[in-house]
């Protein structure tokens, strides 16, 4: 019989043996919340909450389980962020709404543009996407941000959707902490000057046009199916963007089940690519490590380690249960990322690999939410522990 961490904790404190609440007519919750904590010299000590939940808004046999995620944190250095994201399917999957809102004051670590170059101080251990030590070749950029996006897809026929949406990304009070003499000398400052962006703040607002294929059996923890998405983004002056630009974002996720009796035993594949077609992007909008919706791209490296005007990423993962109750599971993963730069280096010219192993703890069996604890390694002696709620992809 399948069990999860919420039942184990509840039974421990109540002294009762395991029971499945769905079997005796009691209601159960599809929502899960976990505390989080971390440390980084640029952020300070941070504490927060991560929550995920969902609901089926229609006939369960013909309607995909909808998911809503939220998280927030505050730090001892005065940083704070909040975000809420939705992936909602209406009855019979007629419409799919994807989007969210993010706001806060945070810090980005600036390693420069492109792949194929080591940063001084690489090799320090990282925890939860941020290094535990200061890196002498990495600039910390503090900034305020407000982001909003919403896409609406209409079902055309089985598993196939088309739609459109809007996106507003605004950055303000950008502060490069590393200064040389009277002038800022960070990667962000040089890039912004070279591409004629303000150095204190900017916006990238635009229209989205989308095509989607989705046959996954679940969003939080798929056991089978495929997801493919193509999005054209047009940043427009009339919507408040400093520069016009056009991008195409492509994504593919595929799942191959290896057992009829254990659906958690599978191989999963992920491709994510974002390519600049024309125009220019603000520095903090360049796609790279951690640029996906859940900020999970690139286990083995700190967030923002690689980025460029165009960026591509692939990952394969072997998932398997570790016990009959499905409470514990394991993963083996390998990935690779590549980015262009402003000096003529193209996507694919330099590849940055990563690999690792992970533990999965089923937190809520009704929403298929699990706690992910991964140890990843990358190039240039990069290594660290990466935590998350729900599968990486």
127-136, 182-191, 358-367: least confident range: 182-191
Count the neighbouring beta carbons within 10 Å of the beta carbon of residue 170: 16
pLDDT digits (tens, 9 = 90+) for 233-248: 999 999 999 999 999 9
Q: Is-above-0.85 flag for pTM?
A: yes
CA angle (281 as vertex; 289, 384 as ends), nearest 5: 10
pLDDT digits (tens, 9 = 90+) for 273-299: 999 999 999 999 999 999 998 889 999
CA distance 184 to 163: 42
Q: Per the structure block, which two tokens stand in for 31?
A: 């929502």
Confidence band, pLDDT 50/70/90 cuts, at residue 23: very low
Q: Assess whether pLDDT exceeds 50 at residue 387.
A: yes
Q: Which residue has the tokens 């993962």?
A: 317
Provide the phi-psi class of 176: left if phi over 0, else alpha when psi is between -120 and 50, else beta: beta
Per-residue pLDDT at 101:
96
Range 352-362 average pLDDT: 96
Q: Are 268 and 233 in contact (CB under 8 A)?
A: no
CA distance 269 to 283: 29
Range 8-15 average pLDDT: 62
* Nearest alpha-carbon partner for 152 in 91, 82, 89: 89
Task: Give the domain range for residue 332.
Answer: 5-389
Per-residue pLDDT at 186:
76
pLDDT > 90 fraction of the chain, expressed in percent and rounded = 62
Per-residue pLDDT at 281:
96
Confidence band, pLDDT 50/70/90 cuts, at residue 109: confident
Range 103-111 average pLDDT: 91
**Domain count within the chain:** 1
What lies within 8 Å, CB to CB, of 84 at 6+ separation is 68, 69, 70, 100, 101
User: DSSP letters of 110-176?
Assistant: E--SSSS-PPTTTT-EEETTEESS--TT-EEEEEEEEEEEEEEEEEEETTEEEEEEEEEEEEEEEEE
Per-residue pLDDT at 11:
65
Q: Which residue has the tokens 């992970």?
A: 358
Per-residue pLDDT at 183:
45
Confidence band, pLDDT 50/70/90 cuts, at residue 182: very low
Q: Assess whether pLDDT exceeds 90 at residue 24.
A: no
CA distance 145 to 99: 16
What's the Cα-to-Cα distance from 2 to each of 121, 175, 363, rounded to whole Å? 45, 50, 11
Per-residue pLDDT at 137:
73
What lies within 8 Å, CB to CB, of 123 at 6+ separation is 380, 381, 382, 383
Confidence band, pLDDT 50/70/90 cuts, at residue 355: very high
Of the two residues 225 and 365, the one the predictor is more confident about is 225
Q: Are 319 and 268 in contact (CB under 8 A)?
A: yes
Range 94-106 average pLDDT: 95
Per-residue pLDDT at 185:
67
What's the Cα-to-Cα distance from 272 to each of 311, 314, 389, rounded to whole Å? 8, 6, 20
CA distance 371 to 145: 28
Any idea what the CATH number is for the domain that residue 364 is in? 2.40.160.50
Mean per-residue pLDDT of the chain: 88
Range 110-133 average pLDDT: 81
What's the Cα-to-Cα distance from 308 to each of 25, 98, 187, 291, rounded to whole Å? 53, 25, 12, 11
Q: Assess whether pLDDT exceeds 80 at residue 122.
A: no
């Amino acid at each position: 019989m399948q069990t999860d961490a919420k039942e184990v904790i509840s039974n421990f404190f109540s002294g009762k043996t395991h029971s499945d609440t769905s079997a005796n007519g009691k209601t159960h919750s599809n929502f899960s919340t976990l505390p989080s904590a971390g440390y980084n010299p640029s952020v300070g000590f941070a504490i927060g909450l991560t929550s995920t939940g969902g609901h089926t808004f229609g006939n369960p046999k013909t309607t995909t389980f909808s998911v809503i995620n939220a998280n927030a944190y505050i730090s001892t250095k005065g940083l704070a962020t909040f975000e809420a994201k939705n992936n909602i399917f209406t009855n019979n999957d007629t419409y799919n709404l994807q989007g969210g809102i993010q706001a806060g004051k945070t810090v980005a670590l600036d390693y420069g543009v492109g792949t194929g170059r080591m940063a001084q101080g690489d090799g320090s251990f990282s925890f939860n996407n941020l290094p535990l030590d200061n890196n002498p070749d990495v600039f910390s950029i503090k900034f305020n941000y407000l982001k909003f996006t919403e896409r609406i897809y209409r079902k055309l026929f089985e598993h196939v959707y088309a739609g459109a949406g809007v996106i507003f990304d605004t950055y303000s009070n950008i502060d490069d902490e590393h200064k040389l003499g009277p002038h800022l000398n960070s990667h962000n400052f040089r890039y912004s000057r070279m591409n004629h962006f303000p150095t204190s703040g900017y916006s990238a607002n635009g229209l989205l046009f989308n095509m989607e294929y989705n046959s996954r059996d679940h969003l939080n923890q798929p056991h089978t199916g495929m997801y493919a998405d193509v999005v054209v983004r047009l940043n427009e002056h009339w919507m408040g963007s400093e520069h016009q630009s056009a991008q195409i974002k492509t994504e593919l996720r595929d799942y191959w089940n290896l057992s009829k009796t254990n659906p958690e035993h599978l191989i999963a594949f992920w491709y994510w690519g974002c390519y600049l077609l024309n125009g220019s992007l603000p520095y903090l909008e360049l796609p790279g490590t951690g640029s996906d919706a859940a900020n999970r791209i690139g286990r083995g490296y700190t967030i923002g380690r690689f980025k460029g005007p165009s960026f591509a990423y692939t990952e394969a993962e072997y998932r398997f249960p570790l016990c009959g109750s499905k409470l514990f599971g394991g993963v083996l993963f390998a990935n690779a990322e590549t980015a262009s730069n402003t000096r003529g280096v193209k996507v694919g010219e330099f590849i940055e690999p990563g690999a690792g192993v992970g533990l999965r703890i089923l937190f809520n069996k009704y929403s298929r939410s699990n706690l992910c604890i991964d140890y990843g390694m990358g190039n240039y002696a990069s290594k660290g522990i990466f935590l998350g709620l729900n599968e990486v992809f």
